[in-house]
Amino acid sequence: MKILVSSLTIFTITKLLFWLTTMLSKKTKMSREKNSPFECGFNSISSPRKSFSTHFFLIATIFLIFDVEISIILPIYNMKLSIIKEWFLSSTFIMLILITGLFHEWKNGMLEWSK
């Protein structure tokens, strides 16, 4: 019974606080001035929604993949000697895969910014 009473009390207090902050907030309804972008007091020259460069997205994705892969092969310092050998073999294999992928992307012209 105490859990039910305390749960109802907490629920009532939170609902009261939500209602109170909604009523006391200075936020009013949205207007054209509040929804428009601010450019030093002038009206915006162009549309804020420009087309996104897919080539930039591709470069960012390639960077993210390489970044994650490099962080995977970073060593842990307190390893035994046999684990270090296994880590070295696996990281060498991963690096070969990454270098092969890099040469493939380079050969296909995916790393050139403009064509």
pTM greater than 0.85 (yes/no): no
Looking at 1-115, list the stretches that DSSP marks H as alpha helix, in order from N- to C-terminal side: 2-24, 32-35, 54-72, 81-107
The answer on pLDDT for 50 being more than 60 is yes
Q: pLDDT confidence of 54, banded at 50, 70, 90? A: confident
Higher-pLDDT residue of 53 and 67 is: 67
**Tokens found for residue 51:** 């087309």
Higher-pLDDT residue of 27 and 54 is: 54
Q: What backbone phi and psi angles, to 5 degrees, belong to 42?
A: -100, 160
pLDDT in tens, 55-84: 778 778 888 887 877 777 666 555 665 677
Specify if 112 maps to a domain.
no
What local confidence, expressed as pLDDT, does residue 15 receive?
Answer: 95
Higher-pLDDT residue of 104 and 83 is: 104
Specify if 101 maps to a domain.
yes
CATH number reported for the structural domain that contains residue 23 in this entry: 1.20.58
pLDDT in tens, 5-42: 999 999 999 999 999 888 887 666 666 666 666 666 66
What local confidence, expressed as pLDDT, does residue 43 receive?
Answer: 60
How many independent structural domains does the chain possess? Answer: 1
Specify if 114 maps to a domain.
no
Specify if 19 maps to a domain.
yes
Structural domain that includes position 88:
2-43+50-107
Specify if 16 maps to a domain.
yes
Specify if 113 maps to a domain.
no
